[in-house]
């Protein structure tokens, strides 16, 4: 198998491509959606064993290049997470974060974006959307697609919302009043392994109580929001939408929070979004609407409703472009897509909700400790996403290497090459594949 040099794999940030000049923005910043560029030597039709092995060689090299880029990006994001987490644990939260921390984040975001741009194979970007599914939404936000997601018509796919999402919540049994606050001894809230015990001040207004309880909730690391209903009852909601989130709580002496004083109660369950994608069925996770795997057009297409204005009949639209690599792996197969992730900072974690108001990695900052905490949440999500993709790509590499060796062995034996020589050639091919993988790893 031909080894690719680092110059073939990575193109510097000053290099332009037919679809994008160095100064052109990419999707998410007001620019055009990336289209695939470069050429890949994939044979198609009634393939011979040599053509099949050739296709697989190119595909393996492409995937190993992507794997090297994912490894490098994971180290960069992981290092950023370690620095931010150390600052969060060691600094005095009574003082604002040091300005150098915000400058550090801005530098690292630039390095991540540059690494994504430079991860290329024969002029084609592997992690910037040129080998993935990209899109733009109106009323909804495009999040991701899969290998079977089809390019939408010019008007985009219609996303119809038939059921709006909600948050898990607890509502008190009585209107909030100062004399009830004086009678209450303790408010208890728990989410996962984190919990809070808050004692209302004996003298204080309802507004003071709400502000102090919200401050205590955030200091305890609970993703909860405190407020009042129209009937002036205490309400505590989860920070995230959907049925998978829950918490519990109680008020010890009064029905301020729990209907029965002193009884720990679970929150009312939140609802997931409901709807369809271009008339095809979809399921909801929080605000995320995802097409089923067997959908003909919108398989694995995921869009997010973030409260944006929808069109008639609660509809939004999403324009989708399928940029996956098409490759024929077997003589009698149709070409299939290989889709890689789009990991530019503005393209990841767009489905998350944060108190600081930013929803993508490109928005993280460290001006306040709340922003630092939200940045940590997003970085943890990015690390998890990269690990999942790296595992998937490595599994693909192993599968296609084994498939190439099967066809290589079959071709050698069919030509009448002695078994011993064929076995040696197979071992040599395996060594070449291992060496290629090592070169890719070191070149990153």
Given a cut of 90, is residue 268 above it in pLDDT?
yes
Contact 344, 28 (CB under 8 A): yes
What is the total residue count of the chain? 444
- What is the enclosing helix (H) or strand (E) of 86? helix 49-90
- pTM score, whole prediction: 0.75
44-53, 85-94, 334-343: the lowest-pLDDT one:
44-53
Cite the residue boundaries of each domain of the chain with CATH code 1.20.1330.10. 6-132+330-443
Distance from C-alpha of 223 to C-alpha of 374, rounded to nearest angstrom: 10
For the sheet with 224-228, list strands across it: 167-175, 233-241, 224-228
As a whole number of angstroms, the distance between CA 192 and CA 166 comes to 20
Residue range(s) occupied by CATH 2.60.40 in the chain: 167-266
**Band of pLDDT at residue 439, cut at 50, 70 and 90:** very low
Average pLDDT of 108-131? 91
Q: What class is the 167-266 domain?
A: mainly beta
Beta strands in 81-220 (DSSP E): 120-121, 124-125, 133-138, 141-144, 157-163, 167-175, 187-191, 194-198
Rounded to an integer, the average pLDDT of 289-310 is: 92
Q: Which helix (H) or strand (E) holds 289?
A: strand 288-291
- 312: pLDDT confidence band, cut at 50, 70 and 90? confident
**Domain 6-132+330-443 - what CATH class?**
mainly alpha
Grouping H, G, I as helix, E, B as strand and the rest as coil, residue 177 is: coil
Q: For residue 168, which of 50, 311, 272, 262 has the smallest C-alpha distance?
A: 272
pLDDT tens digit string along 336-376?
778 999 999 988 877 777 888 888 898 899 888 889 988 99
């Amino acid at each position: 198998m031909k080894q690719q040099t680092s110059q073939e794999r990575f193109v510097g940030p000053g290099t332009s491509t037919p679809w994008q000049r160095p100064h052109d923005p990419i999707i998410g910043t007001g620019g055009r959606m990336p289209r695939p560029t470069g050429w890949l030597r994939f044979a198609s039709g009634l393939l011979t064993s040599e053509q099949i092995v050739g296709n697989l060689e190119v595909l393996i090299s492409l995937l190993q290049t992507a794997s090297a880029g994912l490894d490098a990006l994971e180290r960069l994001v992981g290092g950023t997470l370690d620095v931010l987490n150390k600052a969060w644990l060691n600094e005095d939260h009574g003082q604002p974060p040091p300005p150098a921390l915000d400058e550090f984040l801005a530098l690292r975001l630039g390095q991540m974006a540059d690494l994504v741009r430079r991860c290329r194979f024969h002029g084609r970007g592997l992690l910037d959307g040129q080998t993935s599914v990209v899109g733009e939404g109106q009323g909804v936000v495009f999040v991701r697609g899969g290998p079977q997601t089809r390019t939408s018509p010019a008007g985009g796919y219609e996303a119809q919302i038939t059921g709006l999402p909600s948050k898990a919540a607890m509502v008190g049994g009585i209107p909030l009043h100062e004399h009830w606050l004086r009678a209450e001894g303790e408010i208890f809230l728990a989410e996962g392994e984190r919990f809070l015990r808050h004692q209302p001040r004996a003298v204080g207004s309802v507004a003071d109580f709400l502000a102090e309880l919200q401050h205590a909730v955030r200091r305890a690391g609970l993703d909860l929001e405190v407020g009042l209903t129209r009937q002036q009852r205490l309400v505590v909601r989860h920070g995230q939408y959907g049925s998978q989130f829950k918490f519990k709580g109680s008020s010890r002496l009064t029905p301020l929070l729990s209907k029965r004083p002193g009884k720990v109660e679970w929150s009312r369950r939140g609802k997931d979004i409901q709807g369809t994608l271009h008339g095809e069925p979809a399921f909801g996770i929080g605000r995320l609407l995802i097409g089923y795997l067997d959908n003909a057009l919108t398989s694995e297409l995921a869009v997010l409703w973030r409260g944006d204005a929808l069109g008639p009949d609660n509809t939004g639209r999403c324009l989708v472009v399928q940029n996956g690599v098409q490759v024929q792996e077997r003589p009698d197969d149709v070409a299939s897509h290989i889709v890689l992730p789009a990991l530019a900072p503005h393209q990841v974690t767009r489905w998350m909700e944060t108190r600081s108001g930013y929803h993508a990695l490109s928005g993280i900052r460290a001006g306040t400790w709340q922003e630092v905490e939200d940045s940590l949440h997003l970085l943890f999500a990015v690390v998890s996403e990269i690990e999942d993709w790296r595992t998937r790509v490595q599994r693909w590499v192993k599968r296609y290497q084994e498939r190439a060796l099967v066809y290589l062995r079959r071709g050698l034996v069919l030509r009448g090459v002695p078994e011993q020589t064929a076995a040696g050639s197979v071992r040599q091919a395996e060594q070449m594949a291992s060496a290629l993988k090592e070169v890719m790893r070191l070149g990153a």
